[in-house]
Structure 1
Amino acid sequence: MFLYNIGIKLYYFAIWLASFFNAKASLWISGRKKQRFASFNGSIWFHFASLGEFEQGRPILEAMRERHPGKKIVVTFFSPSGYEIRKNTPLADAVYYLPLDTAKNARHFIDTIAPEIAVFTKYEYWYHYFSELHKKGVSLYIISGIFRPKQVFFKWYGGINRKILTFVSHFFLQDEQSRQLLHTLGLTNTTVSGDTRFDRVWANAQQPKQVPGIAQFKNLQKVFIAGSTWPEDEKLLATLPALYPDWKFIFAPHEINEEKINNLINLFPANSVVRYSKWAGNSKFKIQNSKDQTDNSLRVLIIDNIGMLSSLYAYGDIAHIGGGFGVGIHNTLEAAAFGLPVIFGPNYLKFNEARELITLKAGFCISNEAQLKGITDSLITDEAFYSTTSKKIRDYVQEHTGATQLIMKHISPLIP
């Protein structure tokens, strides 16, 4: 316990140092300093690490709001990338940064919001918060949980981490392997419910939001969407517009600071690329929705905002999902729900859906420019192959929906 507490303080110190030259770290520190918590006489507490986990857990959040409209809902985030974008969500009565995991912070926060249940999505296991909930008899649920043998819980030195797991009332897991791993620790309070992301992306695909200016840019042409890209992805993908002159290309980079956006823009001829903020707000770029009425020189659109990507896939035909040349790929399911074949880099093994899509031949791993060109050629030139792939990937998403209903059937009756 002593080492855990020291580790938490060292983590805070590292972020504090980084805050002097890193905007995200600065938000992490300043956001926690200025917040004041509202007192509730009973609430439902949802915690999300970041924006991706919010979208993953959103079906449960929406279902809870609908079925228990009289309950106050508190949402917390660990990361600024979640808090800053969803701090005004109508699904919650209060949205906060999660205070640092100390015994004092946990007692104060939980005493203030008085949760009747707590729901954590996928991961983030905090000793003091979990322990305090357990002491107060508050049910704690993990939804869309996933475990792998290499995680610290299953190492000889992971005693404190295994202790954290004992405070969880029930685990709703993505797969059978996770259930078996928890059983090796003597934890049998488990249900394999699947991943709530499938419910979220499927619902999004059934009622897609229109994005201003995108239909005009698409202009009845085929569109290749590069989502959540990093520089390593972008250098490869920048070769495609010259190879496929009948296609349009939309890039939605993972990071949108000015330096990253400008570096991406500079990969393309100046007369072929435009930023979304200029495209959507400048009448001189507006074109008619007809091929014979447009100057088709603008072929690359750079999205310079956050939160639009899941709706952009509705306009696409093929998607490349970024991150596979770095720490790991981002969300493939948002594109898959619209029937877009997905391409990604080699670092995908931690993601069940990516492995399953490759097995189905509906997702494709590439490691270099030649492989990227090969699979893109096949999808573009072979209509039968494209059609079959598109149907397989859409069917895959639909077949994996249903986690929300199963979880709510268990949790909802237990709410006072």
Structure 2
Amino acid sequence: MKYFWSIVYSFLFLPVFWLGARSLSLFNNKLKAGFKGRKGLFKYLKPKVLTLDPAKKNVLIHCASLGEFEQAKPIIDELDKTNKYNFIVSFFSPSGFNHSKIDTPLKSKIIKTYLPYDTPPAVKKFIDITNPAAVIFIKYDLWMNLLKELKERNTYTMVVNSAFDLRRFKWKFPVSLSYKKTIYEFVDVIGVTDEEDRLHFRKLMKGTDSEILVFGDTKYERISKAKEVSSDKALINGNVLNKKNVFVVGSSWDKDDDVIFPVIDKISSNGLSEELSLVTILAPHEPTEDTLDQIEYDIHEKYPHIKSIRYSELNKYNGENLIIIDCIGILMGLYKYAHVAYVGGGYQTGMHNVLEPAGYGIPVMFGDEKLSEDAEHLIKNGGGIAVEDSKELFKSLVNLLRKRDYRFEVGKKSLSVFDRKNEASKKIAEVINNQI
């Protein structure tokens, strides 16, 4: 099947993908930025690599985007303790390349780059320049020609935080599973999050040489670390939230807003306003000026009892019941102020990170249409609440705010998912240290 999928990939998938992305880039700024960022990639990359310590081995870590980079940070921190490696972090997405930051001091140097599009000449040149002793893929985003080239050079490869997601069609359909098996055959180690995933991957990879190891999931470590870092940062003046119940809405989309705003308006329009003293902090998924203007327009036209102010103007705060976050990078720190959180994406694109608020031991709510694996685990533990519409959100939110003991109980159950946390990064680093 390797030969079959190699032909399909090279002569069907890649051309269609490239032409489709090129066409859509005329209308999509992210795709356009991706093409622009890769223009002159090797001229940019070669002098960067020359600044690395030649006495150290290069470890290439590939992340699809910013979320995967956050999961890579504990691995980088752990490998850096040996002072044996240079780090090259590659991204597929412009958002990952543009917004990724290392927030802990490293002994070794780290550079970041776009991953070139997966044509044989491009990946050969990319590997020639970066010369990795090992390549770690975070979660997914595996590219066949890159993996084939690494295999031919006997470069050690590992994919970590892998999950066999049976909720998704591509993990059930025989044709897509056949393709996935071919892709994973090029990887030396498949690092999974738990024993259940190991059994699923072992069945998929039967008859291959791939090693399947249970490492755990580095995202738990990353969230715990980020919580420590953000706990000392004051993002909002204490007087603004004094004696208030705080409802933090993270990564909201328009469909989330359509459910949330009627609830805020209703709470603010009757006797509940004084009883609950609710302030909502809304962090839109993409806080562009157009998005912010649309939110403010909708509030003005439809919700007379919502009074909003932008985060950048909080020095003028005058009792508004909605604070709209008009910057990026502070959401994790905002959850520390919350009594209850809501995570967006559940009605639209797919769930965003529900573990960030869970790490603060607060109840976490979300839309019920596109639940993530983490959201389902939260529900199972009793710390997550899926809501279908405004009516359900109103009922759940008021209940949590009125019943303090109940809120604390749900919050404890939310935090209990971190009982699963482990030393995944140490296990991963140990394997890498023993192999290269």
TM-score scaled by structure 1?
0.89
2: distance between equivalents of 1:126 and 1:312?
Answer: 36
- Partner residue in 2 for 1:157: 175
The answer to whether residue 85 in structure 2 is matched with residue 71 in structure 1 is: yes
Q: 1:401 aligns with which of 419, 422, 434?
A: 422
Q: CA deviation at 1:70?
A: 4.4
Q: Which runs of 5+ in 1 are unaligned?
A: 286-294
- Partner residue in 1 for 2:290: 259
1: distance between equivalents of 2:432 and 2:313?
Answer: 47
- Partner residue in 2 for 1:322: 344
- Partner residue in 2 for 1:386: 407
2: distance between equivalents of 1:263 and 1:214?
Answer: 27
2: distance between equivalents of 1:212 and 1:330?
Answer: 22
Contact 1:348 1:354 in 2 (8 A): no
Contact 2:134 2:432 in 1 (8 A): no
Contact 1:198 1:400 in 2 (8 A): yes
Q: CA deviation at 1:397?
A: 1.5
3-state DSSP of counterpart to 1:266: helix
- Partner residue in 2 for 1:226: 249
Q: Deviations over 1:272-304 (max 9, x none)?
A: 21122333xxx444xxxxxxxxx42x1211112
- Partner residue in 2 for 1:102: 119
In the alignment of these two chains, the number of paired residues is 400
Give the 3 Å change call, closer, same or farther, for CA 88–342 of structure 1 in structure 2. Answer: closer
Q: Deviations over 1:83-123 (max 9, x none)?
A: 11016777662111111011111111011110011111111
TM-score scaled by structure 2?
0.85
Q: CA deviation at 1:398?
A: 4.0
Contact 2:216 2:421 in 1 (8 A): yes
- Partner residue in 2 for 1:27: 33
1: distance between equivalents of 2:416 and 2:101?
Answer: 34
Give the 3 Å change call, closer, same or farther, for CA 213–383 of structure 1 in structure 2. Answer: closer
Partner amino acid, structure 1, of 2:112: V
Contact 2:400 2:407 in 1 (8 A): yes
3-state DSSP of counterpart to 1:168: coil
Q: Deviations over 1:249-288 (max 9, x none)?
A: 1111112222221122233358821122333xxx444xxx
1: distance between equivalents of 2:139 and 2:405?
Answer: 37
Give the 3 Å change call, closer, same or farther, for CA 201–261 of structure 1 in structure 2. Answer: same
3-state DSSP of counterpart to 1:364: strand
Q: 1:37 aligns with which of 45, 56, 62?
A: 45
The answer to whether residue 177 in structure 2 is matched with residue 177 in structure 1 is: no
The answer to whether residue 376 in structure 2 is matched with residue 355 in structure 1 is: yes
Give the 3 Å change call, closer, same or farther, for CA 220–32 of structure 1 in structure 2. Answer: farther
The answer to whether residue 141 in structure 2 is matched with residue 124 in structure 1 is: yes
Written as runs of structure 1 = structure 2, the 5 A alignment for 1:264-283 is 264-269=295-300, 272-279=307-314, 283=315
- Partner residue in 2 for 1:14: 20
- Partner residue in 2 for 1:3: 8
Contact 2:251 2:343 in 1 (8 A): yes
3-state DSSP of counterpart to 2:299: coil
Sequence identity (%)? 28
Q: CA deviation at 1:196?
A: 1.0
Partner amino acid, structure 2, of 1:253: P
- Partner residue in 2 for 1:343: 365
Aligned-pair Cα RMSD in Å? 2.2
2: distance between equivalents of 1:12 and 1:311?
Answer: 38
2: distance between equivalents of 1:126 and 1:151?
Answer: 20
Q: CA deviation at 1:409?
A: 2.8
Partner amino acid, structure 2, of 1:161: K
Partner amino acid, structure 2, of 1:11: F
- Partner residue in 2 for 1:249: 280
Q: Deviations over 1:36-79 (max 9, x none)?
A: 213455411011111111112221122222x2334211001111
Contact 2:136 2:160 in 1 (8 A): yes
Partner amino acid, structure 2, of 1:164: I
Contact 1:44 1:117 in 2 (8 A): yes
3-state DSSP of counterpart to 1:125: coil
Q: Which runs of 5+ in 2 are unaligned?
A: 1-5
Contact 1:238 1:267 in 2 (8 A): no
1: distance between equivalents of 2:287 and 2:173?
Answer: 38
Contact 1:148 1:181 in 2 (8 A): no
Contact 1:233 1:322 in 2 (8 A): yes
2: distance between equivalents of 1:132 and 1:197?
Answer: 29
2: distance between equivalents of 1:76 and 1:216?
Answer: 43
Partner amino acid, structure 2, of 1:202: S
Contact 1:57 1:143 in 2 (8 A): no
Contact 1:214 1:315 in 2 (8 A): no
